[in-house]
Amino acid sequence: MSKPDRSCVIRLARAQARIPGPAGEHSVSVLQRGTLDVKLSLPTPPNQQTPHAQDEVYVVIRGRGILLHDGERDPFESGDLLFVAAGTEHRFEDFSEDLAVWVVFYGPRGGEVPA
């Protein structure tokens, strides 16, 4: 049997049932451990974001759209992995209504130092 602080399974349906949050939030934190912070996000337009203090990975569960980042516009779809370094301006554009992403923040403020 696993201990909740050492391993777990995070169920999409259970996390999704917590959205919207009490103040209308479109994301919910599902796991925090050390610098790791994992959320489920169901973005809604307009998707306005501020640069984050930590590096960030998005795992696209379902849907599609365009990631605007560092002046680039890259299309994405279900199953894709998106990376955004700490401090990088970014947002989703032209995304489908069913977009759902796991958002993984990790590492120190300011981001990891590239090798």
**Token couple for 50:** 């501020």
pLDDT band at 14 (very low <50, low <70, confident <90, very high): very high
Q: What is the mean pLDDT of the chain?
A: 94
Structural domain count of the chain:
1
Asked if residue 22 belongs to a domain, the reply is no
Asked if residue 78 belongs to a domain, the reply is yes
At 33-45, the pLDDT tens digits run: 999 999 999 999 9
**Which pTM does this prediction carry?**
0.91
Range of the domain at 74: 29-106
Edge-to-edge strands of the sheet including 90-93? Answer: 72-77, 64-69, 90-93
Average pLDDT for residues 49-59, to the nearest whole number? 95
Q: Are 8 and 31 in contact (CB under 8 A)?
A: yes
Q: How far apart are CA 61 and CA 99, in angstroms?
A: 8
